[in-house]
Amino acid sequence: MPKTLSSPKNPRSAVVTGAARGIGRAIAAELVDRGYQVIVTDLDAAAAEATAKEIGAVAGLALDVTEEDANHLMAARACTYAPLGAWVCNAGVGFDGAMTDLTSSQVRTLIDVNFAAVIWGSRAAAGVFRAQAAQGVRGGDIGITSSLSAHGPVPGLSVYAATKAAVLSLATSLNVELRKDRIHVHAICPDGVDTQMVTDMNPDGQARALIAAGKFYQPPEVARAFVDMFGTRRVYRTLPAWRGVILRASGVVPGPAMRTEPLIRRMGERKLRKDSAS
């Protein structure tokens, strides 16, 4: 049975960003199953509302995570349902391509959505958790969707990987900064996941081939592993763990390690051709 941190006697609310589809939707559904009063948020208001109805969330609302004040307003809105128990910074974008090939707008969006917005969301959640503590409701969880790419070099996804490394670093530091308030911070670092973001990548691109060479997850698998960390002291989890070890090693010695990149890419390209033919 899944661990429950919210119950009818002691209900807690949860906000999940970028939750209309993909990993965010799966996280929101997992939190609903574990008793949270979940608010599904997304830049697409209609999609957020539809998802909320489908999974049994209490609301589906529009949220532009890049607006600092909007995050604070959403945290306050969550408290109208129940004391805030979890805030999940999941919203993200994933433009693939070499750094020099990305447009300036794409670079700014990657930084604003994948990194800065995580700061705004975490600050909003921490502020509410601290205010609740003064009223006798202690603790809470902040979740951050990172990526396997946070652990080392990923050519073809350099800017995306840099933002995911940044939020993983943020999570580890925040967990220490907020520990005295009983606020736990967690990050999930999955390999490729069956989402629209991956589907939209250039099928002939370097990044898509590297992703195809690894383990491919379904969103509910990632959501379950992620939410299992809530209420614990575990700061981050990499799926699969062995890929994390390899990528971290490549980050320590990127020169020698990246000599294997052409081989890994060819493996991924063969797998993509096989999948498209089946």
- pLDDT digits 0-9 by tens, 165-224: 999 999 999 999 999 999 999 999 999 898 888 878 777 666 665 565 567 899 999 999
Nearest of 132, 229, 156 to residue 190 by alpha carbon = 229
pLDDT value at position 231? 96
Query: Between 219-227 and 22-33, two packed helices, what is the crossing angle to 10 degrees?
Result: 50
- Domains by residue range for the chain, with CATH: 13-277 (3.40.50.720)
- pLDDT digits 0-9 by tens, 31-40: 999 999 999 9
- pLDDT digits 0-9 by tens, 41-76: 999 999 999 999 999 999 999 999 999 999 999 999
User: Identity (one letter) of the amino acid at 96?
Assistant: D
| Average pLDDT of span 79-95 | 97
Q: Which residue has the higher pLDDT, 4 or 91?
A: 91
Q: Which two tokens stand for residue 255?
A: 């020169």
Sheet holding 59-62, edge to edge: 59-62, 37-42, 13-16, 84-89, 140-145, 183-190, 236-239
CA distance 27 to 183: 19
pTM for the model:
0.90
- Alpha helix (H) residue ranges in 34-157: 45-55, 68-78, 104-111, 117-133
Is pLDDT above 50 for 268?
no
